[in-house]
Amino acid sequence: MSKTKSTEAAVIGVDLAKSIFHIHGASADGSVIYRKKLSRSKMHAFFSSQSPCIVVMEACGSAHHWARQLASLGHTKKMIHPPSM
């Protein structure tokens, strides 16, 4: 019997900015899998390589653009009202 360690994120949090985005991947139990900084140009490629999961971000002008992009890749988008963060 072999143990399989899942390294796929169940939830990915995204801190949107103008040029560098902070990405935080967590497993279903909430443990941190990774923390990354991505440039705008690498964002789509990164999410294309991830299994579909829940992606959470602050609701702002650019969040709607990214939410549409991520939904087209099969991810479930969740936007949080800024004062709730």
How does pLDDT run across 30-73, given as a tens digit for each residue? Answer: 999 999 999 999 999 999 999 999 999 999 888 999 999 999 99
Q: pTM to 2 decimals?
A: 0.84
DSSP state of 51: P
Q: Which of 19, 78, 18, 71 is nearest to 48 (CA)?
A: 71
Question: Which secondary-structure segment (H or E) carries 41?
Answer: helix 40-48
Q: What is the CA radius of gyration of the chain?
A: 13
Tell me the backbone φ, ψ of residue 12, rounded to 5 degrees: -125, 125
**Model pLDDT for residues 5-18, shown as the tens digit of each residue:** 457 899 999 999 88
How far apart are alpha carbons 52 and 26 in whole angstroms? 13
Domains and CATH numbers, the chain: 11-84 (3.30.420.40)
